[in-house]
Structure 1
Amino acid sequence: MEYLYHYTNISSLALILSNRTIRFNSLDKMDDLQEQETADIKNLGQFFYVSSWTDDAKESIPMWNIYTSHDQGVRIKLRKNPFRLYMNKKKDIEMLNAFKIEGEDNDNKVLIPFVDMIKKKFYSASCMDPGSLLYKVEYTDDNDKLYPKVFMKNEEGITFKFNNIGRFKNRYWEFQSEWRYGLLCIPMDYLKGPEKMKRDLELFAGNLYMGIAKQPFSYYDLQISDDAFDEMEITLSPWISLGNKVIVQSLIDKYNDKAIVRESSLTGLV
């Protein structure tokens, strides 16, 4: 599986092309209302940000019907893991007066520069390992997976187990053949210093348990790499209007003239 596909509308395509970004929305904004629920913690889905794709290269009538407007629909094809990678630069972090960094820059590539997390006051371990961002959704009838237990308390203290959130869906959704990019993002203000950060994290854990913690933002955008952007292919909805075809081509001409635009294989059949 080298490529993934995303069904959407022309308005979203325009933002993807003009900004060169993919938007990650929190789980509480997804179509499957079960996803934000756990066995013991409320409102946890708001801290998980995902972008949903499918590995099915064959066009899907249900996907066209559910995730696009008939006369404005498009399907985007991109290579898997299409995101730009960054290096954390010592000088950029020190300019914010956040930390004094010992040693030199390393060659580790990340999805989100640490300086951006400092500015936007959040932390995401997911971005440190770009290879872990993408996963295949598992469809199941197992309620223990659909509603995982998150809160754990033992002699060592309190922990939250996040690794099963957003990875399982009811079998009713199997037609999606879904793959996801996922980020866990929690609020954190690095400029407060270590002691205040520790107290804030303890307060966040308490609020998380009570279901009253607040997400740091409602969505997050990741930059598409130049190579992946140039390889983009766009399939038009089988019901797209002539005027919207012109709009799509105009967007391609302006923002990504290397992208390929294709007619739907279902045109005239549905």
Structure 2
Amino acid sequence: MIEVQYTNEQNKLFPKIKTESQKDALKKFLEAKDLDDLKGNDNLEINYSIKDLGRYKRENWKFQKEWRYIISTSPMGLQEINPPSFKKQQEQLRRIENSELEPAYKQLFLKIDENVLKDIEIVFGPKMSDAEKIMAVSLIKMYCPEAVYRDSVLRIK
């Protein structure tokens, strides 16, 4: 779990995910039949960094004091990618780049310590209807009666 950092720095709000050591590095790598096809492409590197995704929000949201769970997955599991090979590396990058690929999991359920709900503060979104708030309060009273809840200070309707 991480504490969200608030900033207006564009490079943090919109971090660069992929870097290539040269123009069309990914294309060259994916089109190669084997490592020999890449000879002459010195220092061909493709890097992905997702470490900053979800960690930053604009400063105007600072009042939220938000914490987040960051869960990362891979399009290939350890059993599928091992032992490593050139073809498996190519397939891994094809899957990463394929925006239409279905995720490996559509749902993820985590067990949490019920004691954490004792300190929870719930902020109702500005677009919640009165009926939704009544349902939320009913669930709060049933499952975490010690929780603090309130309306958002934002006025967006």
The TM-score bracket by the shorter chain reads 0.5 to 0.7
Amino acid at match of 2:16: K
Q: Does 1:222 align with 2:90?
A: no
**Taking structure 1 as reference, are residues 198 and 222 closer, same or farther at Cα in structure 2, changes over 3 Å only?**
farther
> 1:14-163 counterparts in 2 under 5 A?
133-140=1-8, 142-154=9-21, 155=43, 157-163=45-51
**Aligned match for 2:146, one of 237, 260, 265:** 260
Residue 194 of structure 1: CA displacement? 1.6
Corresponding letter in the other structure for 2:12: K
Q: What amino acid maps onto 1:202 in structure 2?
A: Q
Please, which runs of 5 or more residues in structure 2 have no aligned partner? 22-42, 125-129, 152-157
Using the size of structure 2 for normalisation, the TM-score is: 0.53
Letter in 1 for 2:18: F
1:208 pairs with 2:91: no
Aligned counterparts of 2:122 and 2:59: Cα–Cα separation in 1: 27
Specify which structure has the higher proportion of strand.
1
Give the Cα separation in 2 of the matches to 1:207 and 1:218.
16
Aligned length: 123
1:26-53 Cα offsets, whole Å, 9 max, x none, are xxxxxxxxxxxxxxxxxxxxxxxxxxxx
> Aligned to 1:174, what secondary structure does the other structure show?
helix
What's the secondary structure of 1:186's corresponding residue? coil
Cα offset, 1:228, TM superposition: 3.5
Report the Cα distance in structure 1 between the residues aligned to 2:67 and 2:60, rounded to whole angstroms: 16
- The aligned residue for residue 187 of structure 1 is 75
* Cα drift, residue 156 of structure 1: 5.5
Partner Cα distance (1:161, 1:188) in 2: 17
Separation in structure 2 between the aligned mates of residue 263 and residue 177 of structure 1, nearest angstrom? 14
Query: How well do the aligned residues superpose, as a CA RMSD in angstroms?
Result: 3.9
Whole-angstrom CA distance in 2 between matches of 1:246 and 1:202: 51
> Given the two structures, how large is their TM-score scaled by the length of structure 1?
0.35
Q: CA 1:227 to 1:201, structure 2 compared with 1: closer, same or farther past 3 Å?
A: farther
Aligned-partner Cα distance in 2 for 1:203–1:143? 32
- The one-letter code sitting in structure 1 at the alignment partner of 2:3 is Y
Percent identity, please.
Answer: 15
Corresponding residue for residue 125 of structure 1: none
**For structure 1, which runs of at least 5 residues remain unmatched after alignment?**
1-132, 266-270
Q: CA deviation at 1:182?
A: 0.9
Deviation at 1:137, TM superposition (A): 2.6
Q: Is the 8 A contact 2:119 2:146 kept in 1?
A: yes
Tell me by how many angstroms 1:147 deviates. 2.3
